[in-house]
Amino acid sequence: MVSPGSTGALEGLLPELAVIRKDFPILERTLAGGMPLVYLDSANTSQKPQVVIDTMVDHLERHNANIARAMHQLGAESTEAFEAARDKVAAFIGAPERDEVIFTKNASEALNLVANTLAWKGEHQVGEGDEVVITELEHHSNIVPWQLLTQRTGSTLRWFGLTDEGRLDLSDIDELINERTKVVSVAWVSNMLGTVNPIAQIARRAHEVGAIVVVDAAQAAPQLPIDLAAMPAEERPDLLAFTGHKVVGPTGIGVLWGARAVLDALPPFLGGGEMIETVRMEGSTYAGIPHKFEAGTPPIVEAIGLGAAVEYLGHIGLDAIHAHELAITGYALEGLQTVKGLTVLGPLAAADRGGAISFELEGVHPHDIAQVLDSRGIAVRAGHHCAKPAHARFGVQSSTRMSSYLYTEPREIDALVEALEYTRSYFKLD
Amino acid sequence: MTAQDLDALYQEIILDHYKNPHGKGLRGDGASADTAEVHHVNPTCGDEVTLRVHLSDGADGRVVDDVSYDALGCSISQASASVLHDLVVGKSVDEAMAIHQEFLTLMQGKGTVEPDEDVLEDGIAFAGVAKFPARVKCALLSWMAWKDATARVIGTGGVAGKAGEGDN
- Look at B9 and A384 and tell me if their CB atoms are within 8 Å: no
Please choose, from the candidates B157, B126, B119, the residue with its C-alpha nearest in 3D space to the C-alpha of residue B15.
Answer: B126
Residue ranges per structural domain of chain B: 3-155
Smallest CA–CA separation between A409 and chain B, in Å?
Answer: 23
Whether the pLDDT of residue B166 is over 50: the answer is no
Mind telling me how many Å the CA of A342 is from chain B's nearest CA?
Answer: 17
State pLDDT tens for residues A193-243: 999 999 999 999 999 999 999 999 999 999 999 999 999 999 999 999 999
Give residue B94's pLDDT. 94
pLDDT score recorded for residue A30: 94
pTM of the full structure: 0.90
Q: What is the mean pLDDT of residues B88-95?
A: 95
pLDDT computed for residue B158 by the predictor: 40
| Domain ranges, ordered by start, for chain A | 4-49+317-426, 52-315
Which residue of A lies nearest to B9 if distances are taken between CA atoms?
A371
Active site residues of A: 386
Domain spanning A4-49+317-426: CATH 3.90.1150.10: yes
Chain A CB within 8 Å of residue B3 CB:
yes
A4-49+317-426 and A52-315 share one CATH topology?
Answer: no
User: Residue A366 and residue B76: Cβ atoms within 8 Å?
Assistant: no
Domain A52-315 of CATH type 3.40.640.10: yes
* CB atoms inside a 10 Å sphere around CB B67: 25
Residue A367 dihedral angles phi and psi, to the nearest 5°: -60, -40
Task: Please report the ipTM that was assigned to this predicted complex.
Answer: 0.79
Name every residue whose Cβ is closer than 8 Å to that of residue A167 and which is 6 or more positions away in sequence: A195, A197, A347, A352
Inspect the interface and report whether the beta carbons of A32 and B75 lie closer than 8 Å. no
Judged by CB atoms closer than 8 Å, whether chains meet at B74 and A365 is answered as yes
Residue closest to A345 by CA, chosen among A368, A362, A363, A325: A362
Q: What integer pLDDT is reported at residue A5 of this predicted model?
A: 44
Give the Cα separation of A184 and A206 in Å (integer): 7
pLDDT per residue as tens digits for the range B55-78: 998 887 899 999 999 998 999 999
How many helices, marked H, and strands, marked E, lie in chain A?
13, 17
Q: How far apart are CA B46 and CA A386, in angstroms?
A: 10
Name the residue facing B6 among A366, A372, A384 (closest C-beta).
Answer: A372
**What percent of chain A is predicted at pLDDT more than 70?**
98
Query: Distances from the Cα of A373 to the Cαs of A42, A52, A69, A340, in angstroms?
Result: 16, 29, 50, 17
Averaged pLDDT, A125-137 = 97
d(CA A264, nearest CA chain B) in Å: 38
CATH number attached to the domain at B3-155: 3.90.1010.10
